[in-house]
Each structure stands twice: as C-alpha cells, then as structure tokens.
Structure 1
Amino acid sequence: MTGLTRLGVVLTDRGSKYAVSGAPARSREEVDTVLAALKSDRAYAKATHNTWAALLPSGALKADDGESGAAMVILRMMERAELADHVIVVTRWYGGKKLGGDRFRRVGDATRAYLDHLGLCA
C-alpha cells in the first residue's frame, strides 16, 4: 500500500483539467511506487503531464514530465509548507489551448488544494 491520496480534478482552465495526488515517501523507490500506483489508473497513465516533486531525507527530487518548470513550483510550495518525506503529483490533461504562464498558477492552485487537504499552509 502506498498511502496514495487522490483529490481528483480540482480545477479546469480553458479545457485543461488538473488533478492532484500525493503520498508519504522517504526514498526514490517509494516515489516510483507512488507514481506506478497512480498510473495504474488508465486516466492518469494517459494524462498529458504527471509533474511531481518530493522532499526526501536524501534531498529534493522533481520531474516536469514535459511541463517545463512546473515541478519547481510544487517543490517550492512543499518547502514553504515544510512538508518533508512526501511526494506531490499534479496531473494535467491538456484541453487544446495553451495556457502560457497561467499553467504555473494552475499547478500552484492544485498543489495548494493538496496542502489544504493536509491542513498545511502554502
């Protein structure tokens, strides 16, 4: 069991849908297990981007999954909230219209929804 929490789609913008998920993780192997569990759901496996960040005992890890710069948004918010030993994944299903810089705000909004769910401030 990964302890994966899926909040599902938390917002939409110009057709793009954003979901957020997360789980405790203390190693890269645990992050990979969480990602595999998430992608075992076909909808998440077919998503345009599964951007993630993790604060682990060994340091910070992140992956943009094609959404250049988005993982840093997640990572910075995790650092501000002091959420360690955890991974947060923001999933985007592209809706056909480019969002430009707004995509970073949407990643931040999704991450904030997850942190709020945990009772943390971003």
Structure 2
Amino acid sequence: MQVFDRIISDRGSRYAVSGGAVASRAEVAALLAELRGVKRFAKATHHSWAVVLDGAAVKDDDGESGAGQLIAQMLERAGLEGHVVVVTRWYGGKHLGGDRFRHVAEAVRHYLRETGLG
C-alpha cells in the first residue's frame, strides 16, 4: 500500500490518498483495515474508495456522498483495474460544499501521478 498524507488542506479539512493492487473485495477490506490500523488514519472522518474489478466499479462513499463514484469514474477513465484508491478526509469543522469534489479529484490525480499509474 502506498500512502500520500497531508496532500490537501482547506478550511481545516485535511486529505490523504492511498491505495494498492487488489484482486477481490476481501483484499480491499484487508487494505482498508490496514489503513485504519494506523492511529492517525483511524481518527479520520471519511475513507472514500473505489476499485474496478472484473470490469465493474465497486465503491464506497463512507459518508462523503458522491466521492466513491467520482473515484470510480477517474479509475475507469485511466483504464486502471485491480487497484483500489482511497481518499481520506479529516473534517475540519467547516462545510466545503462542491470544493470537496475538487479535492477528491485532485487527490486521485496526485495518486495516479505519483505512482505512475495515470
């Protein structure tokens, strides 16, 4: 699993992005458990994620409505299958409105760029 922490900060909210190769939902669950096992990440407000497995997107918003779908769309456009991407947010106390989608997209772009997958 690769983790890029503290990549975006806006009005108190902070974002990280992480991910890794997976072949099944069980492997996604294991990766999420590993991430949540890190004390700092266990305290995060949201862990939105998506993966394309066998040609179908699997996603979870984790309370960040629409974030999983956005991640899935970006992975599909990149042609990336079998690789889960997780965008983590620590809520800073102020609503970000539509800016939160911009931050999720930027986090995914950061991950794809830094890992050479995009």
TM-score category of the 2 structures, normalised to the smaller one: over 0.9
Alignment of 1:95-106 (within 5 A): 95-106=92-103
Residue equivalent to 1:63 = 60
2:76 counterpart of 1:79: yes
Aligned residues with identical type, % of pairs = 54
Cα drift, residue 102 of structure 1: 0.6
Unaligned runs of 5+ in 1: none
Q: Report Cα offsets for 1:42-96 as digits up to 9, x if no partner.
A: 1111100000001112621100000000111111111111111010000000011
Kindly provide the amino acid, as one letter, of the partner of residue 99 in structure 1.
L
Kindly provide the amino acid, as one letter, of the partner of residue 65 in structure 2.
S
| Cα distance in structure 2, aligned partners of 1:72 and 1:119 | 22
Q: Report Cα offsets for 1:1-56 as digits up to 9, x if no partner.
A: xxx11111111111100000000011000000100110010111110000000111
> If the length of structure 1 is used for normalisation, what is the TM-score?
0.93
| Cα distance in structure 1, aligned partners of 2:40 and 2:32 | 13
Residue equivalent to 1:107 = 104
Aligned pairs, number: 118
Q: 1:117 aligns with which of 107, 114, 118?
A: 114
Cα drift, residue 120 of structure 1: 3.6
| Cα distance in structure 2, aligned partners of 1:99 and 1:8 | 19
